[in-house]
Amino acid sequence: MKITFLNLLLLITLFYGCSNDENTDINNESSEEEVIELPTPDKPYSIVDTGVSEFFSDTALITELTVEQAFYGQDATYSGNLASYTDNGDGTITDNVTGLMWEQDMGDKITFDEAFTKAENSSLGDYTDWRVPTLKELYSLINFTGRVQGETAIDMFIDTDFFNQPLGDTSIGEREIDAQTWSSTEYVGLTMNGDQTVFGVNFVDGRIKGYPKFKPLSGTANEMYFRMVRGNTEYGENNYVDNGDGTISDLATGLMWQKADDGVSKDWEEALEYSKNLELALYSDWRLPNAKELQSIVDYSRSPQTTNSPAISTIFETTEINDPEGNPGHYPFFWTSTTHLDGVNPYNGAVYIAFGEGLGQMNGNLLDVHGAGCQRSDPKSGDINDYPEYFGPQGDVRYVYNYVRAVRTIE
């Protein structure tokens, strides 16, 4: 076939035109920003499991238990939403259970006000909707496979395969456990001698405490670590229904709760036994809640100081107790099924949530040192006549005989 000049020109135009279009498509594809879709949680307030898989008595590590044995029903007996994270490769970590995205590396300690400024101005991962997490959002990251011995860190209470967790700077006089992460949740009461207080989680020693917003001696702004979050703005919001049969359902978490405690204090073994044998509202599958389940029903908008009530919704009923000095108007600590690995014998303490004030005795004065809604631990057993006692640098009240609010999973 004879190719004329015009035909040749046409072929060249078609060839390069197609090539340019194809290259344009490729370039457009590569220039499009990749948007990471956050997973939709099974429940708006899906509670991540504590990670505990080992069994403990009140003094030792033991083998798996049968239902007839003492200490049955503790944390490892039941498995919830196992932790699942995705490293997005851009300084962010996605929690596949909660639908939250987290800052991987917190950076240096900053003040409370600076944390909000940082979140507002951040474009980490090309996102601009970062915020300072609430305490319930932050607590979703804790796991209780961690271990500490007093002021010495052993294993972190956060997954260090995904999250950077610094220790306190011992070169400037800090303890290893001085690495607390603050939340956006301010205590509605005051701690110590009238300190404005912000709740935080210590992922080095496995506790929730209230920390002073300002340094007591100088009055300057205190500095802590902050880990930004984005996504699932419904996380931590309860959706209660009173079933009219002594139970409360939380549709946000899928858990059903005992409406009123039985008014009797118990050691840890007794608390497990009571929950295992409880029959309420035709259900017999009650159990002692783990630490993260029980913390989910704390109401941080309430406190004995400000609402004359425990830090829990008024849809629940809570026994009133006297403090160790005999003063009325206080509320109990409540046991969880979770062992807290701390101390020379790491197996003899279990986590409690304080729905009343986190009391301690300092310089002979009984004070709210940690805030209503704090999470600490008590010895699992002891002679009831030896308690309450005071322990540690802030004189934490140890009751040992604490209260129970049983839970079950809504089928």
Q: What is the pLDDT of residues 170-180, one digit of tens each?
A: 999 999 999 99
Question: Does residue 29 sit within a domain?
Answer: no
**Phi, psi (degrees; rounded to nearest 5) at 37:** -80, 125
HSE-up of residue 39 (Cα within 13 Å, Cβ side): 14
Stretch (H or E) spanning 224:
strand 223-224
**Which residue from 108, 134, 131 is spatially nearest to 120, judged by alpha carbons?**
131
- In the block, which residue shows the tokens 């319930």? 136
Residue 306 clears pLDDT 60, i.e. is over it: yes
Q: Could you give the percent of the chain with pLDDT greater than 90? A: 90
Question: Does residue 12 sit within a domain?
Answer: no
Residue 35 pLDDT = 67
Number of domains in the chain: 1
| Range of the structural domain that residue 306 is part of | 55-409
Question: Does residue 186 sit within a domain?
Answer: yes
Could you tell me the pTM of the whole model? 0.91
Q: 94-114, pLDDT tens digit by residue?
A: 999 999 999 999 999 999 999
Give the pLDDT band (50/70/90) at residue 411. confident
Q: Which residues contact 83 (CB under 8 A, 6 or more apart)?
A: 48, 49, 51, 95, 97, 143, 159
Give the pLDDT band (50/70/90) at residue 281. very high
Q: Alpha-carbon torsion 203, 207, 211, 217, what sign?
A: negative
Residue 36 pLDDT = 79
Average model confidence (pLDDT) across the chain: 92
Question: Does residue 181 sit within a domain?
Answer: yes
Question: Does residue 43 sit within a domain?
Answer: no
The string over 297-332, giving b where at least 16 C-beta atoms fall within 10 Å of a residue's C-beta and e elsewhere, is: bbbbebbbbeeebbbbbeebebeebebbeeeeebbb
Query: How far does Cα 404 stand from its chain's mean position?
Result: 20
Residue 269 clears pLDDT 60, i.e. is over it: yes
Q: 28-86, pLDDT tens digit by residue?
A: 333 345 667 899 999 999 999 999 999 999 999 999 999 999 999 999 999 999 999 99
Across-strand partners of 61?
56
Average pLDDT over residues 183-209: 97
Burial of 154 (0-12, 13-18, 19+ CB in 10 A): middle
Question: Does residue 282 sit within a domain?
Answer: yes
Residue 34 pLDDT = 62
Q: 314-353, pLDDT tens digit by residue?
A: 999 999 999 999 999 999 999 999 999 999 999 999 999 9
Residue 376 clears pLDDT 60, i.e. is over it: yes
Residue 7 pLDDT = 42
Question: Does residue 89 sit within a domain?
Answer: yes
Residue 12 clears pLDDT 50, i.e. is over it: no
Residue 271 clears pLDDT 60, i.e. is over it: yes
- In the block, which residue shows the tokens 């108007």? 329
